[in-house]
Amino acid sequence: MTPEEFRQHGHEVVDWIADYWGRIGEFPVRSQVSPGDVRAALPPSPPEQGEPFAAIMADLDRVVLPGTTHWQHPGFFGYFPANTSGPSVLGDLLSAGLGVQGMSWVTSPAATEVEQHVMDWLAELLDLPASFRSTGTGGGVVQDSSSGANLIALLAALHRVSRGATLRQGVRPDEYTVYVSAQTHSSMEKAARIAGLGTDAIRVVEVDAELAMSPRALAARIERDVARGFVPVLVCATVGTTSTTAIDPLAELGPICQRYGVWLHVDAAYAGVAAVAPELRPLQAGVEWADSYTTDAHKWLLTGFDATLFWVADRAALTGALAILPEYLRNAATDAGAVVDYRDWQIELGRRFRALKLWFVVRWYGAEGLRAHVREHVALAQELAGWAEADERFDVAAPHPLSLVCLRPCWARGVDADVATMTLLERLNDGGEVFLTHTTVDGAAVLRVAIGAPATTRGHVERLWTLLREGHDWLANDFEE
């Protein structure tokens, strides 16, 4: 493709995206294809000759769109959101166009320095501890996912607690322990597996009535493990759990971690970005105790996947665990110790210029725009929770400090509540106007309403509330007959 052809088709692609966003509300939120439908629409073998661009674009409409669940749809209330935005897409496009590898400072200095700078800006915007800034002992880096961030936090913690021994000898069986709660994201267990600790190393600490990790239970677990000769490595505290956005009490967990020399990792994958709004920062009071912290701009901060914001308070622990310098990567800047080489802050060697889209997003919206985005969803969620609390057909099943509301539909005695709730969920999702997911609270199925798609307005939440009540009434009649 020549630059001129690229210009022409690039305009077509941008037009296509703008049109898609303009009419996104017309699509059923959840794709309605059956397994295998998408592949059945594709030729079995790749084309022998190149095809016209128009033919490829036509198949985008014919094959891809019907098989797409529309995460940017204003009726998308499932999982957690996966925001994208104009400035994010354009920044990503430029990153793709530049096509640089930012693995070392020398391989593209701007990729490293813009990233350092944007991560410092974001630390300031979220009011994170000074130690997380590049000017302090730590620093920030863009990772692919919070799952990946949880893994490298564990590797850094192992490196620190073993004083480098795990680098040389790996981990010995039955030596190290990791502390989570039953509400911690599954990626932490996966991290323990990948790090070679095995799932036996994981201690599941009890939670309180609000599903937050109990500091007293944590201290008791750690004490017992230390007494039996285990070495506690890391506590994973969550700010905004995946199931219900429960918040582990960092201010109480932090001193316990410090007392026992345990690494405190804060997984704030969804909720962390809410700290752009000063009034929401008390939710993560005690964040200054954290040794590392992850939050996803690609969930709720208007930045397309992937854009995980990861900070450490002591960058030496992280680079100590991950740095490796083969001869073919040697260069004067690295040898002089004058630069950050981000390959030493991540698992992969190669890395995209992901900071570019973050830089565009922060500059386009500004701090005020980002705050307004988060505040709007939090306000809508509080309103929805209020409607549900005032309606006898629904209970609010868990605290809702941010923009996720867990609703438990109430059913007549004798009705299997879980079956009825899941039937209601399927009915709503089949309808195509909205999409929700579920979880369990106290063993019972509940509906999760995560408000966070950029296009969602109060009108869409009102419509969801109408559909919820109509669906409930319809099913309640059905189940009672």
Tell me the closest approach of the beta carbon of residue 146 to ligand PLP, in angstroms: 4
Return the biggest CA–CA distance within the chain.
79
CB of 306 to ligand PLP, least distance (A): 7
Helix orientation angle between 250-260 and 215-227, rounded to the nearest 10 degrees: 10
Report the nearest approach of ligand PLP to the CB of residue 390 (Å): 29
Supply the minimum distance, in Å, between the C-beta of residue 93 and ligand PLP. Answer: 22
Establish whether the linkage from the previous residue to 208 is cis, with ω within 30° of 0: no
Residue closer to ligand PLP (CB basis): 135 or 199: 199
Nearer to ligand PLP, 401 or 409 (CB): 401
Q: Which is nearer to ligand PLP, 76 or 105 (CB)?
A: 76
Q: Which residue, 287 or 424, is less far from ligand PLP as judged by CB?
A: 287
373 sits in which H/E element:
helix 355-389
> Which lies closer to ligand PLP via its Cβ, residue 184 or residue 456?
184
Nearest Cα residue to 232 out of 248, 249, 220: 220
* Closest CB to ligand PLP among residues 151, 201: 151
Burial label for 89, CB within 10 Å (0-12, 13-18, 19+), is middle
Pairing of strands 202-205, 308-312: unpaired
Instruction: Kindly report the backbone phi and psi dihedral angles of residue 264, in degrees, each rounded to the nearest multiple of 5, phi listed first.
Output: -100, 110
Judged by beta carbon, residue 270 or residue 359, the one nearer ligand PLP is: 270
Shortest distance, CB of residue 318 to ligand PLP, whole angstroms?
Answer: 18
Output 191 or 380, the one with its CB closest to ligand PLP: 191
Structure tokens at 71: 């995460």
Residue number with CB closer to ligand PLP (394 or 435) = 435
Q: Which of 466, 462, 452 has the alpha carbon at shortest distance from 245?
A: 452
Residue 461: CB minimum distance to ligand PLP, A:
21
Burial code (b: 16+ CB inside 10 Å, e: under 16) for 387-412 equals bbeeeeebbbbbbbbbbbbbbbbbbe
Q: Residue 269 Cβ, how far from ligand PLP at the closest point, in Å?
A: 3
Residue pair 193/147 in contact (Cβ under 8 Å)? The answer is no
In the complex with ligand PLP, the residue whose CB is nearer, 201 or 239, is 239
List residues binding ligand PLP (CB under 6 A): 80, 145-147, 185, 187, 238, 241-242, 267, 269-270, 296, 308
Q: List C-alpha distances in Å: 341 to 12, 107, 281, 308, 319.
A: 37, 9, 31, 18, 9
Query: In the beta sheet, which residues pair with residue 231?
Result: 176
Q: Which residue is associated with the tokens 């302090």?
A: 136
How far apart, in whole angstroms, are the C-alpha atoms of residue 404 and residue 74?
15
Cβ 59 to ligand PLP, closest distance in Å? 28
For ligand PLP, give the closer residue by CB, 107 or 145: 145
Among candidate residues 445, 443, 446, 378, the one with its CA nearest the CA of residue 406 = 446
Q: How far is the CB of 372 from ligand PLP (least distance, A)?
A: 23
Quote the CA–CA distance of 317 and 346 in Å, as a whole number: 13
CB of 423 to ligand PLP, least distance (A): 25
* Per-residue buried b or exposed e for 235-260, using 16+ beta carbons within 10 Å of the residue's own CB: bbbbbbbbbbbbbbbbebbbebbeeb
Nearest distance from C-beta of residue 3 to ligand PLP, angstroms? 35
Measuring CA to CA, how many Å separate 306 from each of 76, 87, 317, 352?
19, 14, 24, 10
